[in-house]
Amino acid sequence: MTDHKPLSTTKATNGNDLTSAFDALMLGHQSGLLIDQEPIIKDLKQQAVAHFVAQGLPTIKHEEWKYTSTKAFTALGAEAFVPTPNSVVPQAQAIADYAAPTIVLVDGQPILNGADPYSKLDLGKGIRVTAFSQTDAAQVELVAKYLGTLAPAESDPFVALNTASFQDGLLIEASKNAVSDAVLHIVHQYTGAAKLAYTRILLVVDQHAELKLAHHIVGNPDGENAAFGVLITEAIVAPDAILKVDIVEEAINTHLVTGWYATQGDKSVTTHSTIYLDGPWVRNNLNLAIPGQYAEGNMYGLYLGSDRNLIDNHTLVDHIAPNSNSNELYKGVAKDRSTAIFNGKIFVKQAAQKTNAFQSNRNLILSDDATVNTKPQLEIFADDVKCSHGATTGALDEEPIFYLRARGLDEDQARSLLLQAFADEVNDYLISDSLRAIASAAVERFLH
């Protein structure tokens, strides 16, 4: 499925410098984090360096990066890939009021005032957020057990980079039977101060627990420096557990690679709703591994492409055991000279009989210069399954526009209403009311 071959051209320009830079860093690594002293994490990081050096950054010759050039990253030069310890913690900028418990990450780093600042958040019983740098011995063990088990450093250079270079991060635990109404909001700001900013999050959702997260990626709206962010999240979802994740991207001035990796136990349910509203360049990887039976994985996406922005959504659901379901709906609108890419992989392993897997990708193109590339990719090795996929790309239908005009709405109102309806089908899945309002307002602005 993935081409693991190192790419010699990238390697030649970056590789040697990087090897020495990382070697130096790793040998004298003294970040002071408890987890870094954990031999497993140390090994993981060292291996990740090797994986990155072996792979280099992908080019468009790489099948998985066919339409998405990483030039902006390679142009940074080798020194950008050397992690710099955060000596100065930048101040969080003013952000929206989410009317919910909120954590702000600046350049991927938690802002920690005192010990265990997140204990003050009203998250509900059994739900706990801890910065990697403040984990206790039991949590270190947990991190060592799960970190890097889902995000593949060996086959994804950005995962390798993140794993090799992340400093602090978040561990979010929902203990057995923990259920809360609270939606934890995580705001991601990138200042451009760190050439490459790494965000690392580990979610551990125990049996019968429910965890609700809403990520708002705001990028660097006021900054002059372009920022580059690599955000990797791994989620261990135990049997009968529920994980709901909103991701709303407005990564202004920011090149962004995100990776959302989850593994699901029996009867677990995950829902990821990924809404792209703005930002010059984003690659989202969403990977669900479903080794559990009677589990359900839901993947919803919406992207509003404008200007010369590029939005690349790669999703993968891997049905490993029998009787599980996956539902996927990604919808996009592309105007101006924007480019949108959708690649949806559904793997059904031989043992995964009675799998139901549905995928739909629907695109509206509103200008001649906008591009949409869509590619469903189904690999099914079981014979008793229901799988379907469909992709459409076209303009807004004229018939509904005429109907609404015949009722007295002008063309602009009619188009706006239809676009809102098109987008709402995905926005309605958002669990965060404030993020839904933000997305809805962006749709309304989109045609004007």
Chain residues that interact with another protein, rule: CB under 8 A: 399-400, 402-411, 413, 417-418, 420-422, 424-425
Give the residue carrying structure tokens 């669990």.
431
Q: CB of 397: closest distance to another protein in angstroms?
A: 8
Spatial CA neighbour of 93 closest among 109, 106, 110, 108: 106
Which CB, 331 or 349, lies closer to another protein? 331
Which CB, 378 or 418, lies closer to another protein? 418
Q: CB of 398: closest distance to another protein in angstroms?
A: 8
Instruction: Give the type of residue at 421.
Output: A
Q: CB of 313: closest distance to another protein in angstroms?
A: 21
Spatial CA neighbour of 309 closest among 376, 392, 372, 378: 372
Q: CB of 134: closest distance to another protein in angstroms?
A: 45
d(CA 210, CA 242): 5
Beta bridge mates, 234 = 202, 261
DSSP state of 132: G
Which CB, 54 or 418, lies closer to another protein? 418
Q: CB of 105: closest distance to another protein in angstroms?
A: 34
- How far from each other are the two terminal CA atoms of the chain, in whole angstroms? 41
Q: What is the largest CA-CA distance in the chain?
A: 73
Q: CB of 401: closest distance to another protein in angstroms?
A: 9
Which CB, 114 or 408, lies closer to another protein? 408
Q: CB of 325: closest distance to another protein in angstroms?
A: 23
Which CB, 266 or 328, lies closer to another protein? 328
The number of helix segments (H) and strand segments (E) in the chain equals 10, 19
d(CA 166, CA 158): 11
Sheet containing 102-106: which strands, arranged edge to edge? 109-110, 102-106, 184-189, 210-219, 242-252, 269-278, 296-305, 325-334, 356-365, 386-394
Q: CB of 339: closest distance to another protein in angstroms?
A: 26
Give the burial class of 158: count Cβ atoms within 10 A of its Cβ; 0-12 exposed, 13-18 middle, 19 or more buried: buried
Give the residue carrying structure tokens 């906008």.
370
Long-range contacts of 409-416 (CB under 8 A, 24+ apart): 412/447, 415/447, 416/444, 416/447
Relative orientation angle of helices 398-405 and 411-427, to the nearest 10 degrees: 120
Which CB, 76 or 404, lies closer to another protein? 404
In this structure, the dihedral spanned by the alpha carbons of residues 425, 426, 429 and 431, taken in order and rounded to 10 degrees, is -130
Which CB, 381 or 403, lies closer to another protein? 403
Which CB, 86 or 413, lies closer to another protein? 413
